[in-house]
């Protein structure tokens, strides 16, 4: 049996954020109150909101939208349905709606989980085709299932436990990535500053660097089907297409956009668009080592252009890079593969834990868990 559906504005006070005038320096001259924006949210789980890349002064907070610890915040412009809970007194901008929950009716963490569970329904009511927007009236009228308060607390306890397992597994995967970096630095040190004075050559002497081919967006599918190949653009995997440009194992460098300089590793048959630079070794070179070395070079620092940052192939061709012996490259690549095997096992475990979490969510909000 399902629970009664209740409007959000019946569960607490709804407040839409604002941005104090940037023309008044006195609003921003002290780091007193965190000023929360959509980029402060985790797009998947409940964010703990207590820090920001921008702060308001006492004067700024007085003209901003201020909520206390425990308020539930939801992004409602652009990225719809990211959810966070204030861990201290914060202000927030106009892309966010906050709910100051009535604690006698709803548990704030239950409210956050319920909005996450119905995120797709929230996205469906966004009323703009280009930039999705949910206004305060629409958000206030949005409904969530509401069991008794004691049941809410039980649901929160179960979901918190499941979320902690997910977070722990993600942390293990992150530490595996750190281990790869640590092994690289132990063997080769920082490839940018090269304190070990490893032999250096221009990247163009090691590889042929060439951008891929243009393909129309309509030809790229979000979903994989048989006889389709991964398609890489400037920011990584774009989707799947019915043809391929390369067959092998190559590092790819993103050449256009804010994330230009990011490095991906493509294996097998794949399509590289004009925004991805394919690095094909022309000398004896381990491509796994090359991939990690390029990743650690922080190539984004070489970008030019403010409005649309980009990387020139000519800049990369002349870039000085370390060139250790092939034996040391292979030694590192073998260690990389061992770590990746462990990482793959952790990712498989994470998928199982996440599936269990989604199953619990389904039962919890349909009245089948308690």
State the CATH number of the domain containing residue 28.
3.90.220.20
Average pLDDT over residues 205-233: 94
Indicate if 224 and 139 belong to the same structural domain. Answer: no
Determine the Cα–Cα distance for residues 96 and 278; give it in Å rounded to an integer. Answer: 40
Average pLDDT over residues 298-321: 90
Q: What are phi and psi of 225, to 5 degrees?
A: -130, 165
Contact yes or no for 92/17 (Cβ under 8 A): yes
pLDDT of residue 330: 98
The answer to whether position 114 is within a domain reads yes
Q: Look at residues 126, 145, 164 and tell me which one is the last residue of a structural domain.
A: 145
Q: For residue 251, which of 226, 224, 270, 238 has the smallest C-alpha distance?
A: 270
User: Which DSSP state fits 284?
Assistant: S
The answer to whether position 21 is within a domain reads yes
pLDDT of residue 309: 83
The answer to whether position 356 is within a domain reads no
Residue with tokens 């305060």: 136
The answer to whether position 310 is within a domain reads yes
Indicate if 14 and 139 belong to the same structural domain. Answer: yes
Dihedral (CA of 282, 287, 293, 299) sign: positive
- pTM, full prediction: 0.82
Number of domains the chain contains: 2
Indicate if 26 and 141 belong to the same structural domain. Answer: yes
Q: What are phi and psi of 325, to 5 degrees?
A: -65, 150
Residue with tokens 């861990």: 87
Tens digit of pLDDT for each residue in 283-301?
Answer: 999 999 999 999 999 999 9
Q: Look at residues 305, 323, 341 and tell me which one is the last residue of a structural domain.
A: 323
Residue range of the domain that includes 67: 4-145
Indicate if 40 and 122 belong to the same structural domain. Answer: yes
Contact yes or no for 370/154 (Cβ under 8 A): yes
The answer to whether position 368 is within a domain reads no
Q: For residue 142, which of 159, 129, 124, 128 has the smallest C-alpha distance?
A: 124
Beta strands in 148-291 (DSSP E): 200-202, 207-211, 229-233, 236-241, 246-254, 263-272, 276-281
Indicate if 134 and 204 belong to the same structural domain. Answer: no
Q: What are phi and psi of 91, to 5 degrees?
A: -115, 165
Indicate if 102 and 209 belong to the same structural domain. Answer: no
Angle at CA of residue 213, ends 211 and 219, nearest 5°: 140
The answer to whether position 348 is within a domain reads no
Indicate if 16 and 140 belong to the same structural domain. Answer: yes
Chain centroid offset of residue 240 CA: 20
170: left (phi over 0), alpha (psi -120 to 50) or beta: alpha
The answer to whether position 177 is within a domain reads no
Indicate if 224 and 299 belong to the same structural domain. Answer: yes
Determine the Cα–Cα distance for residues 131 and 218; give it in Å rounded to an integer. Answer: 20
Indicate if 225 and 128 belong to the same structural domain. Answer: no
Indicate if 88 and 207 belong to the same structural domain. Answer: no
Indicate if 89 and 212 belong to the same structural domain. Answer: no
Tens digit of pLDDT for each residue in 111-158?
Answer: 999 999 999 999 999 866 778 999 999 999 999 999 999 999 999 999
Average pLDDT over residues 241-258: 93
The answer to whether position 188 is within a domain reads no
Q: For residue 311, which of 233, 271, 253, 264 has the smallest C-alpha distance?
A: 253
Contact yes or no for 316/203 (Cβ under 8 A): yes
pLDDT at 306 over 80: no
Residue with tokens 């370390």: 322
């Amino acid at each position: 049996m399902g629970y009664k559906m209740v409007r959000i504005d019946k569960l607490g006070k709804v407040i839409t954020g604002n941005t104090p005038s940037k023309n008044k320096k006195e609003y921003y001259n002290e780091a007193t109150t965190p000023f929360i924006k959509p980029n402060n949210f985790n797009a998947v789980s409940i964010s703990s909101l207590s820090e920001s890349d921008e702060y308001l002064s006492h004067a700024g907070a007085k003209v901003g939208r201020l909520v206390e610890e425990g308020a539930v915040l939801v992004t409602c412009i652009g990225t719809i349905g990211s959810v966070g809970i204030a861990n201290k007194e914060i202000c927030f901008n106009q892309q966010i709606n906050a709910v100051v929950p009535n604690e006698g009716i709803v548990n704030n963490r239950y409210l956050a989980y319920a909005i996450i569970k119905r995120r797709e329904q929230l996205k469906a009511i966004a009323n703009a085709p280009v930039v999705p927007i949910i206004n305060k009236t629409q958000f206030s009228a949005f409904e969530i299932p509401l069991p008794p308060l004691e049941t809410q607390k039980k649901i929160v306890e179960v979901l918190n436990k499941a979320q902690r397992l997910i977070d722990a597994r993600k942390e293990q995967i992150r530490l595996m990535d750190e281990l790869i970096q640590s092994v690289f630095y132990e063997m080769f040190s920082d490839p940018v500053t090269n304190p070990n004075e490893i032999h250096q050559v221009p990247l163009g002497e090691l590889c042929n660097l060439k951008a891929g081919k243009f393909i129309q967006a309509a030809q790229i599918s979000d979903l994989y089907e048989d006889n389709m190949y991964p398609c890489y653009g400037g920011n990584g995997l774009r989707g799947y297409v019915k043809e391929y440009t390369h067959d092998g194992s190559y590092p790819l460098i993103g050449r256009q956009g804010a994330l230009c300089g990011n490095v991906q590793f493509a294996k097998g048959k794949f399509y590289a668009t004009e925004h991805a630079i394919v690095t094909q070794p022309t000398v004896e070179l381990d491509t796994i080592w090359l991939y990690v070395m390029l990743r650690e070079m922080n190539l984004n620092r070489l970008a030019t252009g403010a409005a649309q940052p980009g990387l020139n192939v000519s800049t990369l061709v002349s870039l000085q890079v370390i060139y250790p012996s092939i034996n040391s490259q292979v030694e590192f690549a073998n260690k990389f593969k061992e770590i990746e095997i462990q990482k793959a096992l952790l990712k498989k475990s994470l998928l199982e834990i996440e599936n269990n979490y989604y199953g619990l969510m389904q039962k919890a909000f349909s009245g089948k868990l308690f």
